[in-house]
Amino acid sequence: MSIVGRAVAVKTPATTANLGPGFDTLGLALSIYDELEVTAVAEPGVIVEVHGVGEGEVPTDETNLVARSIAHVFADQGQPLPGLRLVARNGIPHGRGMGSSGAAIVAGVMAAKGLLEGVVDLDSRTLLRLATELEGHPDNVAPALFGGLTIAWTSDDGPEFKKLSVHRGVSPLVAVPEQITMSTALARSLQPQSVPHQDAIFNVSRSALLIAALIQSPELLHAATEDRLHQSYRASAMPETDALIRVLRENGLAAVVSGAGPSILVLGSDPAQRLVAAELLERHASTTWRPLMLAVDFRGATVGSLPVAAVA
């Protein structure tokens, strides 16, 4: 069956991973999005048109991460790759700890799912496996795929996830620095190979508490977001992030590094806490930070068919 002429639209949420103590395990989908339109064409090759974040910066050929992700799925499923025309409208900041690379991978995987509909069936387990193969770990791609709060882990059978609903009182704010970025690879290189036993026990307790806080008891978020496994080791690479988190936490707010940073995630126990956080950031930041008052995205990535004329 030829898929030439098929066109799909994909919408993928931003994510924030770790959430403090849940290093490489917990992730949350957020209501800021990348949107993608993909058409399968007869002419070989890949052409990518980028609008918004990354315009003029990211590759516009087959080396584009979204295009590589589509190709990965087709190769895994033993399907011939058609020519591809992509139009990306990106809203997720790059290099800021909001899962932009994970979102690009998920967008490509979901686009491939839509293009291959009726040819092969890609279930949730397969989608997670393919996205994790490209990303390297599932903590960002799981919430981008499935929405909500996700617990991700790896078993002998591959990556796994559990999606949970978040208490309606939980109110996220992400503070994004205008001029500062952080490489995930650099952030990971600052991690020690081992940590003290007491620190491991500390984080196990806080991670368990964090699940309860997010789904049932938001008033526990401040205590539940304490961490000893990764943030302190990375602080020297993000001094302003570290200083602002200290200010926010001293004022009773559940502030943590968003993903690899340098953005800051504040998990408010009610919407009013976000206003307090924004005011503190404005007062104490020495550079420009943009406070994004977001909702938890419960749907995850979506894909739907388009008439070819809509994206021609």
More reliable by pLDDT, 75 or 229: 75
> Encoding tokens for residue 19?
């959430």
- Are residue 209 and residue 244 in the same domain, yes or no? yes
Contact (Cβ atoms closer than 8 angstroms) between residue 65 and residue 71 = no
**Do 183 and 227 share a structural domain?**
yes
Q: Is 182 annotated as a binding residue?
A: no
Residues 285 and 304 in one domain: no
The structure tokens listed for 191 are: 């991690």
What does DSSP say about strands 289-293 and 264-268: parallel, antiparallel, or unpaired? unpaired
Establish if 141 belongs to a structural domain. Answer: yes
Q: Is the pLDDT of residue 187 over 80?
A: no
pLDDT of residue 193: 75
- Distance (Å, whole) CA 258 – CA 280: 18
CA dist 17 → 30, 75, 175 (Å): 11, 29, 15
Is 259 marked within a binding site? Answer: no
What is the domain-level CATH number for residue 287?
3.30.70.890
Measured torsion, CA atoms of residues 90, 91, 95, 97, in degrees rounded to the nearest 10: -130
Asked if pLDDT for residue 305 goes beyond 50, the answer is: yes
Instruction: Assess whether pLDDT exceeds 70 at residue 312.
Output: no
Handedness of CA 19, 24, 27, 30 (dihedral sign): positive
Residue 31, in any domain of the structure? yes
Nearest-angstrom CA–CA distance, 40 and 189? 39
Give the model's pLDDT for residue 109.
98
- pLDDT at position 182: 65
pLDDT category of residue 199 using cuts at 50, 70 and 90: confident
Q: Is 261 annotated as a binding residue?
A: no
Same domain, 103 and 234: no
Confidence of residue 310 (pLDDT cuts 50, 70, 90): very low
Q: Is 218 annotated as a binding residue?
A: no
**Residue 19 in this model has a pLDDT that exceeds 90:** yes
Q: What would the pLDDT profile of 278-288 be if each residue is shown by its tens digit?
A: 999 999 999 99
Q: Quick check: is 239 in a domain?
A: yes
Say if residue 102 carries a ligand binding annotation.
yes
Residues 155 and 176 in one domain: no
| 99 among annotated binding-site residues | yes
Is the same domain home to 87 and 212?
no
**98 among annotated binding-site residues:** yes
Query: Containing domain of residue 67, as a range?
Result: 7-164+297-310
Q: DSSP letters of 156-186? A: TTEEEEEEEPPPTT-EEEEEEESS----HHH
pLDDT of residue 200: 87
Asked whether residue 305 falls in the same domain as residue 264, the answer is no
Q: Does 96 carry a binding-site annotation?
A: yes
pLDDT of residue 308: 66
Average pLDDT for 297-304:
98
Q: β-pairing, 26-41 with 7-17?
A: antiparallel
Residues 53 and 118 in one domain: yes
Same domain, 37 and 136: yes
Q: Which of 179-183, 207-211, 230-234 has the highest mean pLDDT?
A: 207-211
**CATH at 70:** 3.30.230.10
Residue 104 forms part of a structural domain? yes
> pLDDT per residue over 112-165, tens digit each?
999 999 999 999 999 999 999 999 999 999 999 999 999 999 999 999 999 999
Tell me, yes or no, whether 234 and 254 share the same domain.
yes
Same domain? For 19 and 91 the reply is yes
Q: Above 70 in pLDDT, residue 72?
A: yes
Q: Is the pLDDT of residue 217 over 50?
A: yes
Q: Are residues 262 and 145 in the same domain?
A: no
Closest CA to 228 of 26, 20, 25, 19: 20
* Model confidence band, residue 228 (pLDDT cutoffs 50, 70, 90): confident
**Tokens coding 242:** 């570290």
Task: Yes or no: say if 305 and 7 are a contact pair by the CB < 8 Å rule.
Answer: yes
42 assigned to some structural domain = yes
Q: Output the pLDDT for position 311.
A: 41
Place of tokens 């999005």: 33
Asked whether residue 2 is assigned to any structural domain, the reply reads no
**What does the pLDDT average to over 24-34?**
97
Q: Is 93 annotated as a binding residue?
A: yes
Segments in the chain forming alpha helices (H): 65-76, 100-115, 124-135, 141-146, 184-189, 197-215, 221-224, 231-234, 239-250, 271-284
Q: Count structural domains, the chain.
A: 2
Mean pLDDT score of the chain? 94
**Residue 72 resides in a domain:** yes
Residue 275 domain-assigned? yes
Q: Is 283 annotated as a binding residue?
A: no
Over residues 267-289, mean pLDDT:
96
Q: What is the pLDDT of residues 245-266, one digit of tens each?
A: 999 999 999 999 999 899 999 9
